[in-house]
Amino acid sequence: MTAARRVFVLNGPNLGRLGSREPDVYGATSYAGLVEECGRLGKELGFDVDVRETNDEGELIRWLHEAADESIPVVLNPGAFTHYSYGMRDAAAQRTAPLIEVHISNPYTREEFRHTSVVAAVASGTVAGFGIGSYRLALRALAEELGG
């Protein structure tokens, strides 16, 4: 039996408040529900999914360094860091495995400041606007990228 491939699902600020934070924008699924869903689908796809959330930019950068150092594929929802964190963008650019940017809402249908992603240019791809389904689509895209 082959060992499951380790995958990070990294979440930036405020994503730990899913389910209570603006449910009309982010849906009713809680953060615990997101973790459960990513783990379930990950297992189905042959992944060992490690879901993490932080409100700390430095911590997110350290996780991206860890992923680069260990060639761990990443699903990344940078939250608000998407629009201005050049440090996070530079950490993402060091990737040594696929990195898929993910957003629950569609940033282009929201406030103008959300229309810019500093991470998009260094990501393998971006999935946005499908609610929690964006994570499912991103995990499936990772499976395709990795030949699974």
CATH number, domain containing residue 118: 3.40.50.9100
Question: What is the spatial distance between Cα 134 and Cα 102, in angstroms, rounded to a whole number?
Answer: 6
Question: What is the spatial distance between Cα 47 and Cα 6, in angstroms, rounded to a whole number?
Answer: 6
Q: Out of 103, 108, 115, 135, pick the active-site residue.
A: 103
Q: What is the pTM of this model?
A: 0.89
Binding site as annotated, residues for substrate: 77, 83, 90, 104-105, 114
Segment 82-125, tens digit of pLDDT: 988 999 999 999 999 999 999 998 777 676 866 789 999 999 99
Note if 26 is an active site residue: yes
Domain range holding 59?
Answer: 5-145
Segment 127-142, tens digit of pLDDT: 999 999 999 999 999 9
| Tally of domains in the chain | 1
